[in-house]
Amino acid sequence: MRFTPTSSCTAARRRFAPAVGIVALLLSAAPTAPIAQDDPWPGPHDVGDAAGAQALTEARQTWSDRASWEARSGRLRRHLAKTLQLDPFPAAGEVGIEATGRRELDGYSVANVRFETLPGLFVHANVYEPTVGEGPRPLILRSHGHFRGTDTDPEGRFQGDVQRLAGLLARGGAVVITWDMMGWGESQQVTHRRPETTALQTFNTMRILDAALGHLDVDPDRVAMTGSSGGGTQTFLATALDPRIGVCAPVVMVSAHFFGGCDCESGLPIHAVPEDAQGPRLRTSNVEFAALAAPRPQLLVSVGGDWTRNTPEVELPYLRDVYRALGAPDAVGNAHLADEQHDYGPSKRRAVVAFLAEELSLDRPAMLSPKGALRETPVTVLGRADLVATTLSHPLPERALDGDDAVWKAFLELERPSKPAEAPTGR
């Protein structure tokens, strides 16, 4: 199926099994006492480099092989899913889809789409599709972060960097979906900076994936996700819980000491697992949430100018230990750009495009020159007005929910099967 204006369809949910330096000094640390139940971890959203590295070292002391990692990771995944109200996964019925506009560009098209992820909640999106070649095609979910708009570059999914990557990947043969965070862009039925936004955004990601797999000519064995900053958080959380995402590339976000500066990332107690029948209280971090992708291929993109500055020395060794325990030591990598800042600029896009081209069998020459330069010139950066899905001629339906309380109530009232989902086995 190709998205065309005024088209609409529904998608039934498929069943899935829910998803040298500082550290050198700490690796010889003696095992610590059990963590107290009133432990305030993590407290602030940034605990500092040393404390984050120390906590990661202590986490490493709790497992030694595949079996012990799977025991720990099983608890982490169950806690994450439960805290986000996604275990059992809500039975939200069919995903409503409406395409309200479409443009043909150079080698790809862009459709303006609304996904109704639960009755009355509309997530605004754009779907980029190749206009040449045959399917089934790889599918790439491209989540955006907290990059505000300027006079010359709009916010969120409308930004030039988002469009450039999506258009380039579409020219390389993939179907790419970009969509609004809750309370961003057109998706204004709720406000953004609320703890429950974490749950809603993870739910939306999975529901959009349902719709794509059910109604687009895409290959379910070639599904990837990438995003930067808050979009990186969405990437590793969704990948942790949904094994259908077979490849991921979180950009400038995975950190042992930084948990996310917005309530939509660190507002819920996802980073501390309470004591239960399976074991004592656990401290965790976004490093271990990223590790829940293992053994699926993963690329971390990090820079010297933000909280990912320690990745080669702190976060990457931990991830490699996890991947090694699962028999895939070469499936995780890191592109570290020591002189760069917090964004999804050209050098980050080069690294991710090369990675996705390899993992998804994309048309690399269509996207990168022989020397690795981005071939983005044919990609058209459209104005915000060209990409919106809700317009005067396509208003939101009257059934649209209004306000944080109404949306959260509707989400909590969704029927949830009595049998919890099992932990995913990965790819």
Summarised one tens digit per residue, pLDDT across range 220-248 is: 999 999 999 999 999 999 999 999 999 99
- Whether the pLDDT of residue 23 is over 70: the answer is no
Burial label for 420, CB within 10 Å (0-12, 13-18, 19+), is: middle
114: domain CATH number?
A: 3.40.50.1820
- What is the number of domains present in the chain? 1
Closest of 312, 264, 216 to residue 24, by C-alpha: 312
Residues 261-274: what's their mean pLDDT? 80
Would you mind telling me the total number of residues written for the chain in this entry? 427
Q: Is residue 168 part of a domain?
A: yes
Is residue 343 pLDDT above 60, yes or no? yes
Domain of 272 in residue numbering reads as 7-19+77-412
Mean pLDDT over 300-328 rounds to 97
Kindly state the average pLDDT of the residues 299-304.
98
Asked whether residue 402 is assigned to any structural domain, the reply reads yes
Check whether 191 has a pLDDT greater than 90: no
Residue 46 included in any domain? no
Give the pLDDT mean for 282-310.
97
pLDDT digits (tens, 9 = 90+) for 143-181: 987 667 677 777 789 999 999 999 999 999 999 999 998
CB of 341 closer than 8 Å to CB of 202: no
384 falls within a domain: yes
Q: Does residue 27 sit within a domain?
A: no
Q: Read off the pLDDT of each residue in 264-280 and give the average, rounded to a whole number.
A: 85
| Residue 146 CB-half CA count within 13 A | 14
Is residue 276 one of the residues assigned to a domain?
Answer: yes
Is 1 within a domain? no
Name residues whose C-beta falls within 8 Å of residue 345's C-beta, 6 or more positions apart in sequence.
Answer: 161
Residue 88 resides in a domain: yes
What single letter denotes the amino acid at residue 373? A
Mean pLDDT value across residues 44-72 = 94
Structure pTM?
0.90
Please choose, from the candidates 234, 245, 188, 258, the residue with its C-alpha nearest in 3D space to the C-alpha of residue 212: 245
Residue 280, pLDDT above cutoff 80: yes
Q: What is the pLDDT of residues 108-134, one digit of tens each?
A: 999 999 999 999 999 999 999 999 999
The residue with tokens 């996207």 is: 367
**Span of 66-80, 190-204, 394-408 with lowest mean pLDDT:** 190-204
